[in-house]
Structure 1
Amino acid sequence: MLVAGIDVGATYTKVVLCDDGRVVGRSLLPTGFNFARAAERALSAALEGAGLRREDVGYVAATGYGRHMVPFRDLALTDLTAQAWAIHRLYPDARTILDIGGQNVKAIRVDERGRVRAFRLNDKCAAGSGAFLEKTMRYMGYTAADIARLAEAAQDPAVVSSVCAVFAESEVINHLVAGRSAEDVCAGAIVALAGRAGQLVKRLRGEPLYVLTGGLTRVPLMRRCLEQDLRVSFVVPPEEEGVYAAALGAAQLAQERLRRTAQRATA
């Protein structure tokens, strides 16, 4: 049966379609202010891209910041649970997951069965999340798609030391006014974000295998900074599966729920 996992994040909404354990479609769209509409639009985009119809979907699992705002959901689950499930299926030896999202950063420790045992979240300030980096890019006239390219071209990353988004933004503006390049400012923002994310892993007392998920898995500098700071190696899921990890986990858990329901019905 076709199932949909919908991750309604504060910045982006992701959908993964699965059929008998296979990923058959996915989509990623900006969330905006209306979570229900974002979920509907993202699901429609995933179905259209896969050549499927809405009536083909037999079960919907919602996760993420806006999971309870998805009116057509059959199941709502936390993104911690969804992330842990998906990563455990990809990497059974994984014990620490670091997810850097638009709204927050999560460090999750899981056991040998993929169950969440402990987690740490960043504070509510945007300077500790991907949203600050995207805002910095917009201020400089770029988009999130330019982050990796600019960061790799940096010669001398600018120092962004403030833990407050307002003050960090002032630092960015001051650097640009002083003539620093967009590449160095972009790289400096990534280094700062990596440092804050690394602190969560230290507080969690993370254990190997370490896996990095979230939109910033597309940025090689983020991974290098984390590995240098923590003196560990991170695995990044292939083919952007790290970006869709929560949606993928929600879809997999939807299939698991259906399987168990079918077993009880025939028992």
Structure 2
Amino acid sequence: MITAGIDCGAKNTKTVILKDGRIVGKGMVLTGFEQAAAIKESLQIALKEAGINEYDLKRIGGTGSGANAIVQANFRVNDIKAIVTAAHFFFPDSRTVVDVGAEESRAVKCDENGAVVDFAINEKCAAGAGAFIEAMGRALETPLEEMGNLAFSSDNPIPMNAQCAIFAESEVVGLIHAKVEKRDICRAILDAMASRIASMIRRIGANPDIVMLGGVACNPGFVTALKRDLNIDSVYVPELPEYGAAVGAAVAAAEAK
């Protein structure tokens, strides 16, 4: 069976093509102001990579904040179900799933069968989402892809006291003026965000085998900071974690009766 999963998010729209349990195509574009156009473009990119046509798709699953705009979908999946399904697709033993995207983050606790036991969502404050890292990167004049590696090389923890992205940016500017090394500031930024995500995980009661999805999972400095805060050895990150919800939608569509 061939299915597609489309995740229309606040920043990016992602599509995954699944054939007999394997990812054979993917596409990602900026969502922008025209959700319908972004959905269509990401789907076409994924179809082209998979070497198939849209009529070859048995089902299309839709998810994300813009799920209602996915007119191509004949099956819809809520965000929580999508990320849990994706986590179990990649790591069948996963019991806690963390998804950190551009605008919000989620932590979900599952039982051994993958059923949701509890969850927490941060959608009110940018300080707990990828937008926080982007804003701090602009203040540091440092590309996102460099921040993780810089933080990874730091062995000098510096606490950040601000709990708001706006005040945190002022704090970063102060650290820059104080001539603090850039790698140490990067670590402080990622440590601060990891602390917020770790608090959310503790709130639901973390199980072992934590899986992380979302674009922020591509940041090695953040993953290290999260492990350090939770005092654990491993956080499992699949290949292409930014496509997690789209994968979950495609898998759920394939499993639908």
User: How many residue pairs get matched?
Assistant: 257
Q: Secondary structure at the match of 2:58?
A: strand
Tell me if structure 1 keeps the 8 A contact 2:84–2:97: yes
Q: CA deviation at 1:139?
A: 3.4
Distance between the aligned counterparts of 2:64 and 2:254, measured in 1?
18
Tell me if structure 2 keeps the 8 A contact 1:99–1:107: yes
Distance between the aligned counterparts of 2:13 and 2:234, measured in 1?
25
Alignment partner of 1:243 is 2:242: yes
Q: Deviations over 1:202-240 (max 9, x none)?
A: 111111122222222222222222222222343323322
Matched AA of 2:255: E
Distance between the aligned counterparts of 2:49 and 2:135, measured in 1?
29
**Unmatched runs of 5 consecutive residues or more in structure 2:** none
Q: Secondary structure at the match of 2:61?
A: strand
The TM-score normalised by the length of structure 2 is 0.91
The equivalent residue for 1:80 is: 80
Q: CA deviation at 1:69?
A: 1.9
Q: Deviations over 1:41-61 (max 9, x none)?
A: 211221222333333333211
Distance between the aligned counterparts of 1:32 and 1:138, measured in 2?
20
The equivalent residue for 1:265 is: none
Distance between the aligned counterparts of 1:123 and 1:89, measured in 2?
25
Distance between the aligned counterparts of 1:140 and 1:34, measured in 2?
31
**Unmatched runs of 5 consecutive residues or more in structure 1:** 261-267
Q: CA deviation at 1:25?
A: 0.6
The equivalent residue for 2:252 is: 253
Distance between the aligned counterparts of 1:21 and 1:171, measured in 2?
47
Tell me if structure 2 keeps the 8 A contact 1:109–1:206: yes
Distance between the aligned counterparts of 1:163 and 1:38, measured in 2?
33
Distance between the aligned counterparts of 1:43 and 1:161, measured in 2?
43
Q: CA deviation at 1:155?
A: 5.2
Instruction: After TM superposition, list the pairs within 5 Å mapping 1:186-225 onto structure 2.
Output: 186-225=186-225
Tell me if structure 1 keeps the 8 A contact 2:150–2:186: yes
Q: Secondary structure at the match of 2:108?
A: strand
Tell me if structure 1 keeps the 8 A contact 2:109–2:116: yes
Residues 200 and 51 of structure 1, relative CA distance in 2, 3 Å threshold: same
The equivalent residue for 2:90 is: 90
Alignment partner of 1:122 is 2:119: no
**What is the root-mean-square deviation in Å for CA atoms of aligned residues?**
1.9
Matched AA of 1:85: T
Q: Which moved more, 1:103-112 or 1:44-53?
A: 44-53
Matched AA of 2:102: G
The TM-score normalised by the length of structure 1 is 0.88
Q: CA deviation at 1:134?
A: 1.3
Tell me if structure 2 keeps the 8 A contact 1:103–1:131: yes
Identical residues among aligned pairs (%) = 36
Q: Which portions of structure 1, spanning 4 or more consecutive aligned residues, are displaced by more than 4 angstroms?
A: none
Distance between the aligned counterparts of 1:198 and 1:117, measured in 2?
18
Distance between the aligned counterparts of 1:159 and 1:180, measured in 2?
12
Q: Which moved more, 1:134-143 or 1:12-21?
A: 134-143
